[in-house]
């Protein structure tokens, strides 16, 4: 079973990486970019019988820092 | 207009970050994980009249290294 875990910074958390990308896009002449946020994408291939609670535990224990990050699980 | 740019390593390109996550999941006792790949997610908020060619240029010039990475644009 293929999963996509999408980890994004919570709103309000500073995102220096996103800011750097924004500045670089401006510097390259791309106008009209209003905001950039960088997140992480983790593609997991897990056994088909893996239940939602286990996937959730993986995210909470390792993949996302829930103090500053949100995560979302998508089935591919 | 909100866009999600998903940047993933091309198949065959070594992914040490993914390997590290895989080992860490094993170490935490999560069995049944077959493969882990780490990618990047860039959320862009651009002007509504930004055309596809411009978005593509942003990806090719800055956001993705097309030698080793694939990218996909999703409209949120």
Boundaries of every domain in chain A: 2-75
Task: Name which of B42, B16, B73, B32 is nearest A38 in CA terms.
Answer: B42
Work out the burial of residue B12: count CB atoms within 10 Å of its CB; fewer than 13 is exposed, 13-18 middle, 19 or more buried.
exposed
Q: Could you say which DSSP state residue A10 is in?
A: P
Tens of pLDDT along A53-73?
Answer: 999 999 999 999 999 999 999
**pLDDT-derived band of residue A76, with 50, 70 and 90 as boundaries?**
confident
Tens of pLDDT along B35-76?
Answer: 999 999 999 999 999 999 999 999 999 999 999 999 999 997
b (16+ CB within 10 A) / e for A51-69: eeebbeebbeeebbeeeeb
CATH 3.40.50.1820 fits B2-75, yes or no: no
Q: Is the dihedral angle over the CA atoms A12, A15, A19, A25 positive or is it negative?
A: negative
Cβ separation of A45 and B33 shorter than 8 Å?
Answer: yes
Q: Does A31 touch chain B (CB under 8 A)?
A: yes
Chain A residues within 8 A of B46 when measuring between CB atoms: 32-34
Q: What is the pLDDT of residue A57?
A: 96
b (16+ CB within 10 A) / e for B26-51: eeeebeebeebbbbbbbbbebeeebe
**For residue A2, is pLDDT > 80?**
yes
**What is the ipTM metric for this complex?**
0.88
Alpha-carbon distance B34 to nearest alpha carbon in chain A (angstroms): 5
Q: Which two tokens stand for residue B14?
A: 């070594």
CB B11 within 8 A of CB A2: no
The beta-carbon neighbor of A54 closest among B30, B57, B58 is: B30
């Amino acid at each position: 079973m293929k999963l996509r875990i999408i980890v994004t910074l919570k709103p309000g958390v500073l995102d220096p990486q996103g800011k750097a990308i924004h500045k670089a896009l401006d510097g390259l002449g791309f106008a009209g970019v209003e905001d950039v946020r960088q997140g992480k994408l983790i593609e997991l291939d897990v056994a088909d019988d893996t239940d939602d609670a286990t996937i959730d535990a993986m995210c909470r224990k390792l993949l996302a820092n829930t103090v500053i990050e949100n995560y979302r699980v998508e089935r591919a």
